[in-house]
Structure 1
Amino acid sequence: MLLAGCAVTADAGGPAATTPPADTRPFSELDFYPDPRLAEGARTAVVATDAVDPIAHDAAQLLPATVVSHDPDGDRDVVVRDTSRVIALDLAGSLAATVWGLGLGDTLVGRDMSTTFPGTEHLPIVTSGAHAVNAESVLALRPTLVLTDGTIGPRDVLEQLRESGVTVVFLENEASLEGAVQLARDTGRALGVAEVGELLAERIASEVDTVRAQIAAVAPSDADKKLRIVFLYLRGTSGIYYLFGAESGADHLIEALGARDVAAELGWEGMRPMTDEAMVEADPDVVLVMTNGLASAGGVDGLLEAKPALALTSAGKHERFVDMGDGQLLSFGPRSALVLDALARALYAKP
């Protein structure tokens, strides 16, 4: 995962977008489109709460804990002895959210740019606009443990941290709903709270299953009637327009929404610069984007002007763009069910 989950802030181009209030009505009481493909206009998906609810408080930690660190050059055993000062780093902010979900948020002493949920505002940011780790900023916080998944680098900085005596653990972090469940288990083991990690994993899985069942009840079951969706990563003022396909994380999210990831169906893998030909061939009903990414492109009107090929698609003709907060969309973790719920409301329910 190279770009998935990147936070596109005002610094990346254009003003930060305002967020409308969340729709907190029970899902079953919503008024759904008879055919969601015929919906008109842009929507913003807003989670009911951006807070991460810890599953436990003051859990007893069993340390030292020996865990497998999935380093870029191969697995190695790492002994975690001290978790009093933790920094959890990845592109999507999923690791910090998972630490918080385990009830160990008070151990966090720094954060990456994508960690934006309530309670972390005071933490100093140790990554730059390019999502690179600043060794001096990290060492100044005197961390005893750095958790990462390798999506933030450069690698030599992480090695420098190890050489300085900081314990560094690389965790696997698959960009999927199932990956969020496993990440809860692995993070729990690394922090000496394996049992709490299992509880968090079970909660994430249960909440996601509940929302997926609700979506299945309203999403078309006929493949020809399912929404055709693509995900675009935008930094308009920088001229960055990436189309995400298979194994980008967007494919898992779109599938969970009861829709079709047409980029993946066309054989588009990972994330690559969007081409006019690919977009016209995909002809999506809906385009998913990050909120501030869309703002950086000048909103829907600015995006359609910059990329006329989009205007030729069904989504462009009906201005069917669904945006979501940059620190939420493609951030798989304790809030996965909330993200699914908010997106489903924007896709299938009338305003």
Structure 2
Amino acid sequence: MSASRRRLAALGLTLALLTGACGGGGSAPDGSGPSADSASARAAAAGKQLARNTITPLAGAAPTPKLPVTVDSSDGRKVTVEDASRILPLNGGVAEIVFTLGLGDRVVGRDITATFAEAGKLPQVTKAHDVSAESVLSLRPSVVLADTDTGPKEALEQIRGAGVPVVVLDPATKLSDVTTRTTRVAEALGVPDAGRALNRRMNGELAAARAAVPEGSRPKVAFLYLRGSAAVYLIGGRGSGADSLIEAAGAVDAGTAAGLDKPFTPITTEALAAARPDVILMMSKGLESVGGIDGLVKIPGIAQTPAGLNRRVVAVEDGVLLGYGPRTPLVIDVLVDRIHAR
């Protein structure tokens, strides 16, 4: 599952746009808290941005990298980056960070998980989730950004052996990882000030998104990872990556609450009965792979859950749901509105 969870790819609206969509801060007229209308307005704005599948770079001129820099790599090495003129991110979420920092014109290739529009015309250097060292080296990158899930390891060794600096990052699996990874990417590319500016923007957006959670609403949400054509039917638990999003949206991760301590567990009638989700969260392609909601409720046990009985299913595009990049605040906006809908 690590390959399928490798952060399929992610950016955000500016705080001004998001707060503007909130109707002046999102409080009900009596000051009792965010109104349903404000949450819906935020979700509508976020949905439009996600549908465009584009990034929102930092305002102002693109930063100029100050190099060389030596940074810690998550594979235990210290890596010196002397040139950021030809950047190759091997992770979709990392690619979104690079583009949002304002360095997109320096990116020379993409991983299969970089699905946002700005990366669409770049040459792809992965087949499935495996990196082709030959494809990478043919693009003459000056620095490669990978994560600990990137493989095969032999390919990374071949890239290093050719003299290309490879900075390895920890995967992002929870909300707090977004700013940590942004900081590390910005430092590796010699633009730490831009990294801090992006983190301030995202922290503001996340705070505004979470402020719209209605008081007293704590639905149970199960994340299902389905690939019908491959007969993959899994329910998320602790560490799935979706659990942190669900909690940030003011809900309870049903798998974790049911005692599923592994990131993913095969779906069984018993597991679904224990989880009893009020809402099911999925990736869009996963829902399509089982024939939409009509096909989903035919999976044994689904129709007997409150979510199945009420057909409460929330689907988010594969490339952004677990991307844990600058578009994550938009995902929270959408989840807050749709998970708590009555």
After TM superposition, the score normalised by the length of structure 2 is 0.85
1:267-297: CA deviation from partner (whole Å, max 9, x where unpaired): 2121232222111210101110001111011
Per the TM alignment, residue 238 of structure 1 is displaced from its structure 2 partner at its CA by 0.6
Q: How far 1:249 sits from its partner (Å)? A: 1.3
Answering whether residue 131 of structure 2 is matched by residue 125 of structure 1, we say no
Aligned to 2:106: 107
Residues 285-304 of structure 1: pairs in structure 2 closer than 5 A: 285-304=278-297
The equivalent residue for 1:273 is 266
State whether residues 59 and 193 of structure 1, in contact with CA within 8 Å, keep that contact through their aligned partners in structure 2: yes
Q: RCO greater where, 1 or 2, for CA within 8 Å and sep 6 or more?
A: 1
Give the letter aligned to residue 147 of structure 1.
L
Contact 1:69 1:76 survives alignment (8 Å): yes
Distance 2:169 2:117 in 1: 24
What is the Cα-based RMSD across aligned positions, in Å? 2.2
Structure 1: which amino acid aligns with 2:63?
A: A
Report deviation, 1:79: 0.3
Which residue identity does 1:183 align to in structure 2?
A: R
Between 1:307-316 and 1:55-64, the stretch displaced more is 55-64
Residues in 1 aligned to 2:47 and 2:237: alpha-carbon distance in whole angstroms: 24
Matches within 5 A, 1:25-174: 26=22, 28=26, 32=36, 46-49=47-50, 50-55=53-58, 56-71=60-75, 75-90=76-91, 93-129=92-128, 131-174=129-172
Q: Which residue of 1 aligns with 2:180?
A: 182
Q: Is the 8 A contact 1:98 1:334 kept in 2?
A: yes
Structure 1 counterpart of 2:84, one-letter code: T
The number of aligned residues is: 311
The 8 Å contact of residues 47 and 341 in structure 1, kept in 2 or not, is answered as: no
* Alignment partner of 1:324 out of 291, 316, 324: 316
CA contact (8 A) 2:8 2:323 kept: no
What is the CA distance between 1:104 and its match in structure 2?
0.5
Distance (Å, rounded) in 1 between the aligned partners of 2:323 and 2:136: 23
Q: Is the 8 A contact 1:32 1:348 kept in 2?
A: no
Deviation at 1:237, TM superposition (A): 0.8
What's the CA shift for 1:319? 1.0
Q: Match for 2:157: what amino acid?
A: E
Tell me which amino acid in the other structure corresponds to 1:333.
G
Any idea what SS the aligned residue of 2:154 has?
helix
1:283 and 1:76 mapped to 2: Cα distance?
A: 45
Q: How does 1:193-204 map to 2 (within 5 A)?
A: 193-204=191-202
Instruction: State the shift of 1:5 in Å.
Output: 5.3
Amino acid at match of 1:289: M
**Structure 1: gaps (5+ residues):** 9-23, 34-44
Residue 109 of structure 1 aligns to a residue whose secondary structure is: coil
Q: Check whether the contact 1:113–1:125 (CA below 8 A) recurs between aligned residues.
A: yes
Residues 70, 136 of structure 1: alpha-carbon distance in 2 compared, 3 angstrom cutoff: same
| Kept in 1: contact 2:321–2:328 (CA 8 A) | no
Q: 1:241 aligns with which of 221, 224, 233?
A: 233
Q: Match for residue 216 of structure 2?
A: 220
Contact 1:7 1:114 in 2 (8 A): yes
Percent identical? 41
8 Å CA contact 1:242–1:273 kept in 2: the answer is yes
Q: Secondary structure at the match of 1:139?
A: helix
User: Which residue identity is paired with 2:65?
Assistant: Q
1:77-105 Cα offsets, whole Å, 9 max, x none, are 11001111111123xx2100111111111
- Match of 2:73, SS state, is strand
CA contact (8 A) 1:31 1:349 kept: no
CA deviation string 1:142-198 (max 9, x = no partner): 111110112221111111111122110101233222110111111110000111111
Q: Secondary structure at the match of 1:232?
A: strand
Among residues 323, 335, 339, which one is paired with 2:327 in the alignment? 335
